[in-house]
Structure 1
């Protein structure tokens, strides 16, 4: 089976859905950020802080090429992964790609309850967060829309709905 790659903005549910999809298919799940952290023994925010975004994006590209060669996996990418280098074209050439699309409102609601440390969002008020998400989503959407399939995940308001999203993905495999 070809690799399955989930892309989309931060906090749309790529990891949660990816885990559930991998379990359903009986394959291995990888989160690209976690893979990077394991390989380099540093958290992503630490890499950003110490080495800058350009260095992180280069590491991310190299690790994407490494992981996407694995067979029978579901891979959740970071929100920016498809937007740099030729990452999106590469993913489309080696994998089934799915854009998990959510509205800015849904994303902001998910970010408010997210426990992860997100370097790009540090110190923002709710209004600044909303504006940031809308602006960044506008920049990134053309990259995301290059995915083979788009799955709307605005319905993802509880863990019970995760399987509903998995069921939306399955017919495309």
Structure 2
């Protein structure tokens, strides 16, 4: 049975690498944020605004527990998922956990071109975006590093790099 949780900051490549890895292993890929949006027919942003952060995080935890029962699956968590409740311990107890570690400069470059897709980043200057990323990584690092595996996901810019990363991840996890 395969159950792998990919964690890391936004822009780390959880969806990009997760989809490719799931195809390689011929198992379903679940993005926890997409799963939540499908279940509740609302965007993460709408749920966050309507419920507030505390209630949203509780909902997120419940959905994490739900998808953690699936077998033969790759699950991409939201960037903040590991940082609340006992989510990291829970994931470690229910599958293999991988922290997709990416240098802040690479995250900056990836997120800078995607600010229109991420409302929390909209309107930030380059300096503000760099500071935002650095601050968030500092706060989240104690949770991310609890993953069983740490994987350098800094090379996902081309199909060739993604394919190479998939093979490296497969070797690391022994699947």
Q: TM-score, normalised by structure 1?
A: 0.95
Unaligned runs of 5+ in 2: none
Show the 5 A alignment for 1:8-157.
8-114=8-114, 117-157=117-157
Residue 124 of structure 1 aligns to a residue whose secondary structure is: coil
> Structure 1's 49 and 70: CA in aligned 2 closer, same or farther, altered over 3 A?
same
Pick which of 24-33 and 155-164 moved more: 155-164
> Structure 1's 146 and 67: CA in aligned 2 closer, same or farther, altered over 3 A?
same
CA distance in 2: counterparts of 1:24 and 1:94, whole angstroms? 21
Residue 57 of structure 1 aligns to a residue whose secondary structure is: helix
What CA deviation, in whole Å up to 9, does each residue of 1:107-133 have, x standing for no partner? Answer: 111112226632432322111110010
Deviation at 1:77, TM superposition (A): 0.5
Kept after mapping to 2: 8 A contact 1:3/1:95: yes
Pick which of 27-36 and 54-63 moved more: 54-63
The alignment yields a C-alpha RMSD, in angstroms, of 1.3
Deviation at 1:23, TM superposition (A): 0.5
Match of 1:4? 4
Deviation at 1:169, TM superposition (A): 1.0
Residue 79 of structure 2 aligns to a residue whose secondary structure is: coil
CA distance in 2: counterparts of 1:117 and 1:64, whole angstroms? 23
Kept after mapping to 2: 8 A contact 1:45/1:117: no
Residue 117 of structure 2 aligns to a residue whose secondary structure is: coil
Deviation at 1:80, TM superposition (A): 0.3
Q: TM-score, normalised by structure 2?
A: 0.94
Unaligned runs of 5+ in 1: none
